[in-house]
A and B are shown apart, each in its own frame.
Chain A
Amino acid sequence: MTGGILTLKDIVKTFEMPTVGRLETVQSAMEKMLEIDGYTLLVPRKNRTDAYGIITKKDIVSKVIAEGKDPRKVKVKDVMSKPLVILTNLALDLRYVAKAMANSKVSTIAVFDKGDFYGYVTEACILDGVYHALRRSKLEQGVEFVSC
């Protein structure tokens, strides 16, 4: 933490996001999500000039099920979001990470550091970050109280 402000660097998580092929069906994407209990899947690109995509539970509920389409006939590439929403400034205040998420109406943002992939930030990451900061400040207050 820098000067009491939570930044993107404090909350970003580096993990391999589970993937689903762009030509697979929405049905298999759904099965995968439920199996791993993770509701965001990365869609790898075709080649170097292509962009990565992402498919979430919201895409499936609003673009497939709500429209009455058969998830076995719809392909991942037709409902995914592409390209990714990204952030590159690791020193960014947490507040503006949340704002970026609100403005772009997404729940997962990819983070790049100097052109290299760094990690992801999700809604859960933001809340965890705030929660730990809150707990820390409570603990600090408790220590002060005892020393008085």
Chain B
Amino acid sequence: MELRDVVGRSSPVKIPSAATASDALISMIANKTDYLLVDRSGPHDAYGVVTRRDLIVEGIANGRDLSSTPVLELARKPLVVMNNLDLDIRWVAKKMTDEGISKIAVFDKEKFLGFISDVDIMRAVVAKKEAKK
């Protein structure tokens, strides 16, 4: 099972970099997702990602007012990126564990293919086992 078999199933919901944390919270609940891609402000800026856990651990747990906190202060930026599509899924899981994250951005050369999440990995592992039966 390789990285290329797993990536690109879903396209992430975007949020502008000037948004607040409460905008992010509302967007997550409205779109029924647990992460958002934070758009960059220009060609020299990096993309970021903000997850449900970021809002809780960085925002709520520190007693910050979400409606006055810029989402950029809670987001993780730049993205953790992988670009070797031939890589075994095992090493994608290992990277996630080492970085302590649950979403990795996947690029093929310049082209953004999408995010891969921990659930995607589990789904791939289960699908592979079922195909073998």
Residues of A within 8 A of B (CB): 27, 30-31, 33-34, 39, 57-58, 60-62, 65-68, 71-72, 94-96, 98-99, 101-102, 107, 123-124, 126-128, 130-131, 134
Contacts and interface: CB of A to CB of B under 8 A. Distances in A.
Given A65-B89, A127-B56, A134-B25, A34 B96 contact: no
Contacts of A127: 25, 28-29, 52, 55-56
How big is the B interface, by class? 20 to 34
Interface stretch (B11-19, B39-47, B74-82, B119-127): B119-127
Interface of B: 22, 25-26, 28-29, 34, 52-53, 55-57, 60-63, 66-67, 89-91, 93-94, 96-97, 102, 118-119, 121-123, 125-126, 129
A72 B63 contact: no
A126 to B, nearest CB: 5
A30 to B, nearest CB: 5
A30 B60 contact: no
Nearest to A65: B93
Contacts, number: 90
Main secondary structure of the interface of B (DSSP, over half): helix
B1 to A, nearest CB: 10
B61 A102 contact: yes
Contacts of A128: 29
Given A72-B129, A134-B22, A61 B61 contact: no
